[in-house]
Structure 1
Amino acid sequence: MPPLDLAQPAYVLHSRAYRESSALVDFLTPQGRLRAVLRSARGKAGTLARPFVPLEVEFRGRGELKNVGRMESAGVATWLVGDALFSGLYLNELLIRLLAAEDPHPQVFEHYAATLVALAAGRPLEPLLRSFEWRLLDALGYGFALSEDIHGEPIAADGRYRLQVDAGLERVELIQPGLFHGTELLAMAEADWSTVGALAAAKRLMRQALAVHLGGKPLVSRELFRKP
Structure 2
Amino acid sequence: MLAFSQPAYVLHSRAYRESSALVDFLTPQGRLRAVLRGARGKAGTLARPFVPLEAEFRGRGELKNVGRLEAAGIPNLLGGEALFSGLYLNELLIRLLPAEAPYPEVFEHYGLTLQALAQGRPLEPLLRGFEWRLLDELGYGFALDTDRHGRPIVASARYRLQVDAGLEPVEQLQPGLFQGVELLAMAQADWRVPGALAAAKRLMRQALAPHLGGRPLVSRELFMTFKEPPRD
Identify the TM-score tier after normalising by the shorter chain. over 0.9
1:220 lines up with 2:218 in the alignment: yes
1:25-78 CA-to-partner distances (Å, cap 9, x unmatched) read: 000000000000000111100000110010000000000000000110001110
Identity, % of aligned pairs? 80
User: 1:55 corresponds to which letter in structure 2?
Assistant: L
TM-superposed CA distance for 1:225, in Å, is 2.2
RMSD of aligned alpha carbons: 1.0
In 2, the alpha carbon distance for the partners of 1:149 and 1:53 equals 40
* Map 1:191-202 → 2, pairs under 5 A: 191-202=189-200
User: 1:36 corresponds to which letter in structure 2?
Assistant: A
1:129 to 127, 130, 135: 127
Residue-pair matches, total:
226
TM-superposed CA distance for 1:176, in Å, is 1.1
In 1, the alpha carbon distance for the partners of 2:60 and 2:51 equals 25
CA contact (8 A) 1:144 1:167 kept: yes
In 1, the alpha carbon distance for the partners of 2:221 and 2:11 equals 18
Match of 1:161 in 2: 159
Unaligned segments of structure 2, at least 5 residues: none
The DSSP-based 3-state class of the residue aligned with 2:4 is coil
TM-superposed CA distance for 1:188, in Å, is 0.1
Match of 2:79 in 1: 81
User: 1:160 corresponds to which letter in structure 2?
Assistant: R
Q: Give the TM-score normalised by structure 2.
A: 0.96
In 2, the alpha carbon distance for the partners of 1:123 and 1:52 equals 16
User: 2:68 corresponds to which letter in structure 1?
Assistant: R
The DSSP-based 3-state class of the residue aligned with 1:6 is strand
* Map 1:12-161 → 2, pairs under 5 A: 12-161=10-159
1:144-196 CA-to-partner distances (Å, cap 9, x unmatched) read: 00000000000000110000012100000111111000000000000000000
1:184 to 182, 185, 192: 182
CA contact (8 A) 1:4 1:58 kept: no
In 1, the alpha carbon distance for the partners of 2:50 and 2:171 equals 46
| Runs of at least 4 residues off by over 2 Å | none
